[in-house]
Amino acid sequence: MSESEALALEVCGQPIGLGEWLSGAGPESDIVMSTRVRLARNVVEFPFPNRIEGDRQGDLEQFLRDGIAAAPFPDQAPSYLDLDQAPSLDRQCLVERHLISKDHASARGRRGVAIEPAATLSIMVNEEDHLRLQVLRSGFLLDEAWAQIEAADRALEEKLNYAFSPELGYLTSCPTNVGTGLRISVMLHLPALVMTKRIEKVFHAGTNVNLAVRGFYGEGTEALGDFYQISNQVTLGQSELGILQSMAEQVPLIIRYERNMREKLITENRLGLEDRVWRALGLLERARLTTSQEAMGYLSVIRMGIHLGFLDSIPISLVNELFIQTQPGHLQKRAGEALETSVRDELRAAYIRERLAGVL
């Protein structure tokens, strides 16, 4: 990821990596892009963010920021970024890297995010809740992600008084997060289920076991590049371990279903599938104008092709990285200015060509 480092965002002079979750090194990486664990936390000294006004918002931000700075994190301490002061392009890049929410990027007022250098741990400050802790890791890695976020949570709890009810659990701004405040999201790459028109069945089955299915950029976003985020919907009345257990049971069923469909496609029409993969590569190698959606579509097919053994010289980490580097914010950040769509399409095509030429 040497080239990506060149675009590393700086947070308090500290470079922030593109994200370990793009390495493609985690378990079941052929189908599971990433595992994300999130905890919603609030402190007792202040009202919830949506009920806070004027100077108190600034006081709250400083209070939380001090708490984060003082907390004894077991790994490298996160650096803090004041989002009220950060340029709009930087905020957009953080959204594209899945480090902050779209709402947090576009909101006004005193708010921020603390990010650990490898970008596996991030903490949004003054989003919907006072604190939103997130651990984002490569592949299907529930236990490790959970252990990492639990350790960060404990470190913060040493310096902050969490709002907690013995009856309800952790209190949150929105009732849907009360209890554990835990949301686990697994980003799955399901091109074969899409090609074989089985993806609706997955949604249906997911809803039946209280799993939500969302797109590449979470709630309300499209399933770009055949990526689907599966997450738990219930945070109350279940223990953290219960939620983990439920994901540990359900996700492998989808993984197996996608693997079966890939095998079916190969058995029934291997050459047709190879043709599709190679054409996607040919188009990305040569196109002069590429939309974001088109890039994600072709990268998705190439990603599958690599895992099926059709393409062997392209590192999976490069393809994963391109999903992010070709997003509008990253393209503009690289150019150093805001650009029109048509110029972005040109730069996107050129960037993909250059990166592919480096490995082919």
Applying CB under 8 A, the residues found at the interface with a second copy are 271-272, 274-275, 278-279, 281-289, 346, 349
Closest CB 319 distance from a second copy, rounded Å: 16
Closest CB 276 distance from a second copy, rounded Å: 9
Closest CB 346 distance from a second copy, rounded Å: 6
CA distances from 31 to 46, 157, 191, 223, 261 (A): 42, 35, 9, 15, 12
Crossing angle of helices 292-307/240-286, nearest 10°?
100
Closest CB 289 distance from a second copy, rounded Å: 4
CB atoms within 10 A of CB 15: 14
Closest CB 320 distance from a second copy, rounded Å: 21
Q: Considering beta carbons, is residue 63 or 278 the nearer one to a second copy? A: 278
Q: Considering beta carbons, is residue 248 or 343 the nearer one to a second copy? A: 343
Q: Considering beta carbons, is residue 110 or 303 the nearer one to a second copy? A: 303
Cα angle value 227/141/130 (rounded, 5°): 80
Closest CB 195 distance from a second copy, rounded Å: 16
Distance between CA 168 and CA 283 in Å, rounded?
54
> Does residue 52 contact residue 46 with C-beta atoms inside 8 Å?
yes
Hey, which bits of the chain come out as E strands?
9-11, 14-16, 32-41, 79-82, 112-115, 121-125, 131-138, 164-165, 169-170, 182-189, 211-214, 227-232
Distance between CA 187 and CA 22 in Å, rounded?
11
Closest CB 358 distance from a second copy, rounded Å: 17
Q: Considering beta carbons, is residue 284 or 331 the nearer one to a second copy? A: 284
Q: Considering beta carbons, is residue 241 or 289 the nearer one to a second copy? A: 289
- β-pairing, 121-125 with 112-115? antiparallel
CA distances from 201 to 16, 185, 208 (A): 39, 19, 11
Q: Considering beta carbons, is residue 223 or 281 the nearer one to a second copy? A: 281
Closest CB 143 distance from a second copy, rounded Å: 41
Six-digit token string for 182: 């835990």
Q: Considering beta carbons, is residue 6 or 357 the nearer one to a second copy? A: 357
β-bridge partners, 79: 115
Q: Considering beta carbons, is residue 124 or 302 the nearer one to a second copy? A: 302
Nearest CA-CA partner of 63 in 84, 77, 47, 39: 47
Q: Considering beta carbons, is residue 162 or 278 the nearer one to a second copy? A: 278
Closest CB 314 distance from a second copy, rounded Å: 13
Nearest CA-CA partner of 236 in 153, 316, 172: 172
